[in-house]
A and B are shown apart, each in its own frame.
Chain A
Amino acid sequence: MAEKRILTVDDSVSVRSLVSSALRQAGFDVVEAVDGADALDKVGGGFDMVITDINMPNIGGIELLGILRERHDTRFTPVIVLTTESQKILRDKALAAGASGWVVKPFEPASLVAVVRRFIGRT
């Protein structure tokens, strides 16, 4: 079975590299994007999951989520929000916009891998 591909979107380079290394060690293929606009440029290749921050320059996470749900090629791609925000009102908005999960930073690498696996299974 081919490696599952995950797009991680965050304007913080350290968060991106933490996510990447955790998921790569678990056998996922990871591509990084620096914000929502960059993510939309890269997402076309077909990803099994998108992990996105909320507060980013250019296009933010909630807006990105809305656009992904509109596009026919990403309509059913699971999206996990990875953010420092924990307000229920924001979370409900993301869930309503079609987010599959909401992970509050910081994260343990093993826990992140476990979350991803709960949504898209093992590689």
Chain B
Amino acid sequence: MTNPSPHETAPNSAADAAMADASALLFHDVPAAVYLRSVDGRFLEVNNATAALFGYADPAAFLAAMDDCPEQFYLDPNARQSVLDALAAGEVVVGRRYQAMCGDGFVIWIEESAKHTVSPAGDVFYVGFLRDVTEEKSTSWALAEAEEKYRTIFENAVEGLFQMTPAGRFVTVNGALARMLRFASPEVLTGLGDAAANLFTHPEDRQFLHAALSETGVVRAMETELRRGDGSRIWVSVQARAVRGGDGAVVLYEGSMEDVTERRRSQEALRHNLKRTKALFHQTVKSLSTTVRFRDPYTASHQDSVARLATAMAKRLGLDRDAVDCIQVAGQLHDIGKISVPVRYLCKPGRLVGLEWEFMKQHAATGYEILKDIDFPWPVAEIVLCHHERLDGSGYPRGLGGEDLCQPARILAVADVLDAMASNRPYRPALGVPVALEELARHRGTAFDADAVDAAREAVTAGDVTY
């Protein structure tokens, strides 16, 4: 005690009084709740901290409230009785915890420690110490409640959730995953141990999963096929992240999987359908092209050859798949308009003159008319209309110049001329490939596209097309 006394030389009684004052200060102002009660359990004196602990303005208010209520601040009468019984039996009460009622309706958790004591006059009292432990108690409870909440989310999730060791053992799975994989319960699935690794029908997928998770820590939408508990197969999409141990090694994967079997099946069906539709398209084009055969077999086979040659040229020019398909279809149908040309002109040996020639020239426009209403993915009718145009404007029907002619039309023009000269025609025998190439070379870069002429030469020389 450092409280300086002004009466240092005073007689003993004054010193005793000062000590009593100091003791009172110690009792009332110590920042811990302390009480003195009689052996019948009544509170005789409490300090300020005790009053504050229970929400009372001062010790007097606390004492009055306790006198009014037989249970005092104890909510469970047994808690109060057992403290008093223990003290009466001479025991020291240490760290008893129970709920207590404050003056303002607040119910807190307190911890009580007490022992009995004897005054100099020989009277027995109980002295005790109270502590607010509400926060301690509620924190652990809040944690338990939060855990329950997350467990509920985990167990009721629609997606299959899992924790898996790198060896393939399921550590934790939810009900949705067990159902998805057709196991009776999550426990059966976790009970498989490392054998669960065999659920992957493609073991390399599991190795990939491990490699990807070690490398980047995350895997998204990885599709793999699994064996189910009943032996059937399922395609799943896996999302997972790696959980690493202290040494940085991956110790656990956790994530979710979703059944994508249906989606994959419909994608497969869609792919199949598309393939069929494409085949149907090419068959239709071919049939259309064949209609010419019944009046004019030469034109029919000419269309087949031009389609082949133009396709080979387009490939040599490095065109993409779609452009090659376009050229093939245009080649296959480029002379369809000859349906409107009288057969006697088509087969006439020698030059066509006057009206005959006018009739013949009409076939490009007729082809356009026949094809223009078909919704091809490419401008097939336009290309057919242009297949007799020349870069220098000397062609027909419109006499267009180079800048107006698209690449497919340029390729088709060259293929048409080469095939016409290299093949037998009804009106003359074949002139031969060398003559045809010579003719093309003569007009290379003027009437004919230079690249197309080169491609035609390469295609024929390399044997892509034979005559």
Contacts and interface: CB of A to CB of B under 8 A. Distances in A.
B378 interface: no
Contacts of A110: 75-76, 78
B369 interface: no
Interface residues of A, number: 25
A58 interface: no
A107 interface: yes
Interface string B129-166: 00000110111011001001100100000000000000
Contacts of B245: none
A94 to B, nearest CB: 10
Contact of B105 (A13, A100, A107, A111): A100
B105 A99 contact: yes
Given A84-B141, A110-B76, A111-B76, A104 B107 contact: yes
Which among B98, B108, B109 has the greatest number of chain A C-beta atoms within 10 A?
B109
Interface in A92-123: 95, 99-108, 110-111, 114-115, 118
A62 B144 CA distance: 22
B337 to A, nearest CB: 73
Given A86-B138, A104-B134, A12 B107 contact: no
Interface in B85-130: 98-99, 101, 104-109
B71 interface: yes
A111 B148 contact: no
Contacts of B106: 91, 101-102
Contacts of A106: 137-138, 141
Contact of B75 (A11, A85, A86, A115): A115
Nearest to B135: A86
A101 B107 contact: yes
B105 A108 contact: no
A86 B99 contact: no
Contact of A114 (B71, B138, B149, B152): B71
Interface of B: 71, 75-78, 98-99, 101, 104-109, 134-135, 137-139, 141-142, 145, 148-149, 152
Q: Which 4 A-B pairs have the closest CB atoms?
A: A84-B142, A101-B105, A111-B75, A111-B99
